[in-house]
Amino acid sequence: MSDNKPALHQTLRPSMGAAMGRLHRLWRSAINQAVGELGMTEARWAVLLHLAKLGEGCTQQVLADELAIEMPSLTRTLNQLQAQQLIERRRDPADGRVHTLWFTAAGRQRVADLSVHVERVREQIYQGLSAAQLDACAEVLLQMEANVRGLLGSGEEQQ
């Protein structure tokens, strides 16, 4: 009997997930090293860059979801960034229980500085790879992410 299922990919045995995890940790370490002169912890630069990606005015909950972290962890980091006068929280006019997040002028400058360092790291990581390879990799990663989200969503329905 022939099974029409494709064979599991063997190049990254025992685990492609472990290889992606290692790459992620190394990538973040490279950024930490590159932004060291800015005095930024990983938690702080990650929050600033994700807020820049999402856009000012997003809620704390949206940012927590984007970062896949719990609200207490995000709140601690936001408190630190606010103390450094890099961000400010504003009550949402439509719902006073919700805080939206905004950069101060110093925060916008810090994001610009971070972006320069992060772009240098990205260029070094992408050395030797063509645009076509990077595009194909991005497509694969996005599809795998969608598959995992579907798996997690279907698991939640079964519980």
* pLDDT tens column, 72-96: 999 999 999 999 999 999 998 888 8
pLDDT tens digits, 118-159: 999 999 999 999 999 999 999 999 999 899 989 988 655 443
**CATH number for region 18-149:** 1.10.10.10
> Where in the chain are the domains?
18-149
Q: Which of 47, 28, 24, 48 is nearest to 36 (CA)?
A: 28
DSSP annotation of 36: G
Structure tokens at 143: 């599809």
State both tokens at 154. Answer: 């279907």
- pLDDT single digits (tens) 6-37: 555 566 667 888 888 999 999 999 999 999 98
Closest by Cα among 58, 60, 105 to 79: 60
Distance, in Å, from the CA atom of 73 to the CA atom of 110, rounded to the nearest integer, reads 21
In sequence order, what are the residues at sequence separation of 6 or more whose Cβ sits closer than 8 angstroms to the Cβ of residue 102? 56, 57, 87, 88, 89, 90
pLDDT, tens digit (0-9, with 9 covering 90-100), for 95-112:
888 899 999 999 999 999
Across residues 51-55, what is the average pLDDT? 96
